[in-house]
Structure 1
Amino acid sequence: MPPGAARRLAWSLIGLMVALALGFVVLNILDDPRIGLGNPVLVGLGLGFSLIIPALGLLVALRRPDNPIGWMFLGLGLWFQVQSFGSEYALRAFVVAPGSLPAAAFVAWFEPWLGQVVTWAVLPLLILLFPTGRLPSRRWRPVAWVIMVAAAVEGLVYMVRPVELMDGHQGLYHQFALLPNPTGLASLAGLVNVATSLLNVYLLLAVLTSAAGLLWRFRRAGSEEREQLKWFLYVIALLCLDVVAGIPVGAVIHSHWVGDVQWALGAYAVAFGLPVATTIAILKYRLYDIDLVINRSVVFGAMGAFITTVYVAIVVVLGGLLGGGSRPNLALSILATAIIAVAFQPVRERVQRLANRLVYGNRATPYELLSQFSHRVAGTYSTEDVLPRMARVLGEGTGASRADVWVRLGDGIAPAASWPSGDGPAPSRIAVTGQLLPPVPGISRIVPIRRQGELLGALSINKRPGEQLTPIEEKLLADLEAQAGLVLQSVRLTAELRARLTEISQQAGDLRASRQRIVAAQDAERRRIERNIHDGAQQNLVALAVKLRLAASLAKRDPERARVSLKALETESDQALETLRELAG
């Protein structure tokens, strides 16, 4: 069914139910108060079938029109309104004001067998199809067909029963027998009674079989679907216990109140237990992904109630106290509008927080956290702050018990930030091959972070036992992954720049040390040369100069000795030259 047609059909059913409910209220007010609805058990059932079940059915049908669960809840609500209006209509037509309403006989005849068909068709199928709207497997198709055929036969049997239509138990108000069944066949009374007994037993077995199908689905379901089924299964178990236990108890204790108590418990299980169990699955375990719809509905409904209350309190109540009568008071209307305008935003924020707490628990909505993180990333941030903040957003937005941000380092990825910080040892480094992320044991979910096809890191979370990611949390994880690619790339570039700066600083330090070593070596060499010149060549030259002066003085007195001395000086001069060459080399 197209979404537009489904939406129109759902709202049309709600409109029909509202019209029937208003008709019931009008007829009930017109009837004798002694005949009116005074039984608190019936009042409670009316509340459940008139408000809770239709509202839940509308919510599911609008969100998941392809799932029959929502339409079944709407069908239950419509059946109750038809039965309530029909009983009150027939009551007025035959008891309070006989002959005052048209088609009263048809209404009184139509209501009982319709209730049998709806009760024995919708209830077992609702149990069998919850929560996916599909049978547990193809092997359950015969069970579904048998349920529908048996319910139709049950309705047909009720159509031909030779009984009075308002016999004290079929009518809503426990009236006396007043109208014989126009389609009843007295000749088939015995056969009808036997068929009714057999069908009741058979349909009781159908309910128990549907409950067995629900249990079979529960045993084969994953952890998320199990959590969604758990509360619903509890209610069905109590309903089956009520039905099964009522048979031997009624056989032992022959009293009408046993049947009344059994009927009331079963009716309340359907009117309140099933909607409450479904609501728990929707709110706590995100069944049908309609938590956002609930959030907005709560906000819009509360704000509408606020505006109406303020306007009525000021314009109507205060106007009446001031003696304005029925005349409109423009000043009070302006005052009410001004108060609403001033208080609207603060009240809306408070209501929004309450709605968020109802839907998401004691944490911010996933997209509030994502918005805060995006705003933070758009500004100036440090790498020491952004990764822990990302881990916190991931953990708080998904309700995880632990969240980790992994960064690729060489041929592996390692956790760079965790939330909550210091909560146990960090996961070990994981080796990666190419751009593929291997499975990681002990982690509920890990998603790779890529940028232009390059693996930069990963995001991982650990959910508490029995919890699974909801579609909204999956969307948050995907959006955070998209932002994390840019963040991790920036973090990696920053880390690479820091590493390059560290390398350059180290090289500069090495150059300074090398220069210092060169200068020191030059100084040492200079001092060595100075020392060698002073101790070697200089001494040789000084000695050579002294000996030359001696040879010059000998040349005048003893030429032969002077010649020998000069010969020795020649050798010494060669040695001095050799020493100078060594110093120069």
Structure 2
Amino acid sequence: MKLVEPSRLAPALGAVFLLILAGGWLWPPIAGVFFVFILPIALSFTIVGAFVAMRRPENPVGWLMLAFGGVASLNGASNQYFTYGAITHPGSLPGTDFVISLAVHTWHPGFALFILAFFLFPDGTLPSPRWRIPAAATALLGTVGVVFGMLEFEFQRTWDPIAGRAMDPLFGGTLRTIGDVVFGFCVLALVAMFAVSAVGLVVRLRRTRGVEREQIKWVVSAIVLTVIALVSSLFVFGNGTLGALMLPSIPISMAVAVLRYRLFDIDRLIRRTLVYATVTAVLTGIYSVIVVGVGTVFETENSTSPALVAAATLVLATLFRPLRNRLQTIVDRHFNRRRFDATRTIETFAAQLRNEIDLDSLSATLVATVNETIEPAQASLWLRSPRDY
């Protein structure tokens, strides 16, 4: 029997997972958590994972991302099934208690797959033999957790209080008690394994050089960006919506790293993110001071009057370019010192070029500038004799 080629198996599995996700639309209304949380995760991990697995079938990172996308797709469809059959139209669908338990507890092995992808990133192998223990523990915790998770009920009720009121536990007595204890331990242990994998990425980022360092830098940057978005969203909006919407940046960054597509652009991307995020924060603060603060000081009846908004917009438009240039200089000085020094050297040479008239002095300065900025193995300047013209 001929096995299916990985280049065909990966997109086929991706299509199946997307069909499962689309099945959630069969049972309206679509819950808000489906759009905000499940849909971005399922789509990004399924599509990106299938693409990476198709292009690099020997690397398990792509397959792990694809499997995690499948778990998220199953979770989304199961949640919609339960909501329709137990809450919106009670009794209209069979097996809703089992389906919601499956939806809640499939996240556990999915989380284990996510952690294993970090352990094996970027080339599909563990950093060293000693990492076999946490990797094996993660796989074991994911398997044991989903089995005993189907026995427990307390976590389900805490995770989704609305569903908890509309469902009955699958088991009771001793089995349920054992499930509560074992599943609780597995959840805490997996969180610890995630911390270990994150620390491992940071340690490898500090120790590695060259291509692998750039690969890890992509993923670490995406994780930091997602965490910042999540924390900011919790404080500003009272929920994690923004953080959930940023989660697709993690599989995308992993794909860029594994496939090595424009790998060395990460430093420029980080610098631009720092600059524009800071500019946005500063301009937002200035706008708030003008619109809210000035309106309060002068006790205007409407602090958001069109004139005040227009004035604030004009101030922001005036400040944007000089503020961005100033912040770009600061960021380059601290995070791109070579470019900053090269720019200063070229500016100094340009000033000398305007004032210097001695050809020999200019030639020596030009060669010195090239050596300092481009750092070639050897630099020399040839000038044509005037009689050759």
Q: Mark the CA change 1:199 to 1:280 in structure 2 (over 3 Å): closer, same or farther.
A: same
**Partner in structure 2 of residue 14 of structure 1:** 14
1:163–1:180 contact (8 Å) kept in structure 2 = no
SS in structure 1 at match of 2:54: helix
Matched residue type, 1:187: T
Q: Does 1:60 align with 2:14?
A: no
Q: Which residue of the partner structure matches residue 273 of structure 1?
A: 249
Q: 8 Å contact 1:168–1:175 — kept in the other structure?
A: no
Q: Deviations over 1:181-219 (max 9, x none)?
A: 21x333355555444444333222211111122123223
1:143-174 Cα deviation digits (max 9, x unpaired): 10011112222223311114495x47348xx5
* C-alpha distance in 2 between matches for 1:63 and 1:203: 30
**How many residues get paired?**
270
Please say if 1:133 is aligned against 2:124: yes
Q: CA deviation at 1:64?
A: 0.3
Q: Is the 8 A contact 1:211 1:237 kept in 2?
A: no
Once the two structures are TM-superposed, the CA of residue 268 in structure 1 deviates from its matched residue by: 4.7
For 1:287-302, what aligned pairs fall within 5 Å after superposition? none
Q: Judging changes above 3 Å, is the alpha-carbon distance between structure 1 residues 161 and 50 closer, same or farther for their aligned structure 2 residues?
A: closer
Question: Is 1:285 equivalent to 2:263 in the alignment?
Answer: yes
1:227 equivalent in alignment to 2:214: yes
Which residue of 2 is the match for residue 181 of structure 1?
Answer: 169
Say if 1:51 and 1:200 are closer, same or farther in 2 by CA, change over 3 A: closer
Task: Report the Cα distance in structure 1 between the residues aligned to 2:116 and 2:367, rounded to whole angstroms.
Answer: 47
Change (3 A) 1:242 1:205: farther
Unmatched runs of 5 consecutive residues or more in structure 2: 266-365, 379-389
Inter-CA distance 185–62: structure 2 relative to 1 (3 Å threshold): same
How far does residue 140 in structure 1 lie from its aligned partner after superposition?
0.5
Q: 1:59-80: per-residue Cα shift (whole Å, max 9, x none)?
A: 1111101111111221121111
Q: Take 1:136 and 1:208, find their aligned partners in 2: how far apart are those partners?
A: 16
- Check the 8 A contact 1:164/1:180 in 2, yes or no: no
Structure having the higher Rg:
1
Return closer, same or farther for 1:265/1:117 CA change in 2, 3 Å cut-off: farther
Report the equivalent of 1:215: 202
Tell me, what secondary structure is at the counterpart of 2:13? helix
Which residue identity does 1:92 align to in structure 2?
A: Y
Gaps of 5+ in 1: 246-256, 288-421, 428-441, 445-459, 461-585
1:123 aligns with 2:99: no
Q: Distance in 1 between matches of 2:132 and 2:239?
A: 30
- Over 3 Å counting, the alpha-carbon distance change for 1:202 and 1:74 in structure 2 is same
For residues 4 and 189 of structure 1, the distance between their equivalents in structure 2, rounded to whole angstroms, comes to: 41
140, 145, 148: which one aligns with 1:154 = 145
Alpha-carbon distance in 2 for matches of 1:210, 1:83: 24
Equivalent residues in 2 for 1:237-256, closer than 5 Å:
237=224
> Which amino acid is 1:126 matched to?
A
Structure that is richer in helix per residue: 2
Please give the secondary structure, in 2, of the residue aligned with 1:65: coil
CA deviation string 1:395-421 (max 9, x = no partner) = xxxxxxxxxxxxxxxxxxxxxxxxxxx
The Cα of 1:135 is off from its aligned counterpart by: 0.7
Question: 1:87 offset after TM fit, Å?
Answer: 1.0
SS of residue paired to 1:177: helix
Residue 53 of structure 1 contacts residue 73 of structure 1 at CA under 8 Å; is this kept in 2? yes
Question: What RMSD over aligned residues (CA atoms) do the two structures have, in Å?
Answer: 3.8
Shift of 1:85: 0.6
Cross-structure match for 2:305: none
Whether the 8 Å CA contact 1:76–1:122 is kept in 2: the answer is: yes
Distance 1:212 1:193, change over 3 A: same
Q: TM-score, normalised by structure 1?
A: 0.40
Render the CA deviation track for 1:226-284: whole Å, top value 9, x for unaligned.
Answer: 112112123345678999x9xxxxxxxxxxx78x9686576455x32312423553432
- How many angstroms does 1:10 deviate by? 1.1
Q: 1-side partners of 2:163 and 2:98: how far apart?
A: 18
Counterpart in 2 of 1:200?
187
Relative to structure 1, is the Cα distance of residues 230 and 188 closer, same or farther in structure 2, using a 3 angstrom cutoff? same
1:143/1:424 CA distance change after superposition, 3 Å: same
Residue 284 of structure 1 aligns with an amino acid whose one-letter code is R
Contact 2:42-2:72 at 8 Å conserved across structures: yes
Contact between 1:208 and 1:240, CA under 8 Å: does it hold in 2? no
Corresponding residue number in structure 2 for 1:434? none
1:178 partner letter: A
**Structure 1 residue matching 2:122: 3-state secondary structure:** coil
Which string of whole-angstrom CA distances, capped at 9 and with x for unpartnered residues, describes residues 109-149 of structure 1? 32222121211x11211211111111111110011001111
Question: Are the counterparts in 1 of residues 68 and 110 from structure 2 also a CA contact under 8 Å?
Answer: yes
Distance 1:109 1:47 in 2: 19
**Is contact 1:164–1:181 with CA below 8 Å preserved after alignment?**
no
Alignment-derived partner of residue 37 in structure 1: 31
Task: Give the 3 Å change call, closer, same or farther, for CA 266–130 of structure 1 in structure 2.
Answer: farther
The one of 155, 159, 179 aligned to 1:169: 159
Note if contact 1:21-1:85 (Cα within 8 Å) is conserved in structure 2. yes
- Give the whole-Å Cα distance in 1 for the aligned partners of 2:175 and 2:48: 42
Output the CA distance in 1 between the equivalents of 2:155 and 2:253: 38
* CA separation of 1:156 and 1:265: change in aligned 2, threshold 3 A: farther
Conserved 8 A contact 1:162-1:186: no
Q: 1:64 to 1:150 in 2, by over 3 A?
A: same
Asked which structure has the greater RCO (Cα within 8 Å, sep 6+), the reply is: 2
State the percentage of identical aligned residues: 25
Query: Separation in 2 of the partners of 1:198 and 1:239?
Result: 27
Listed as ranges, the matches of 1:334-353 within 5 Å are: none
Counterpart contact for 2:10–2:51, Cα < 8 Å: no
User: Is the 8 Å Cα contact of residues 85 and 96 (structure 2) preserved in structure 1?
Assistant: yes
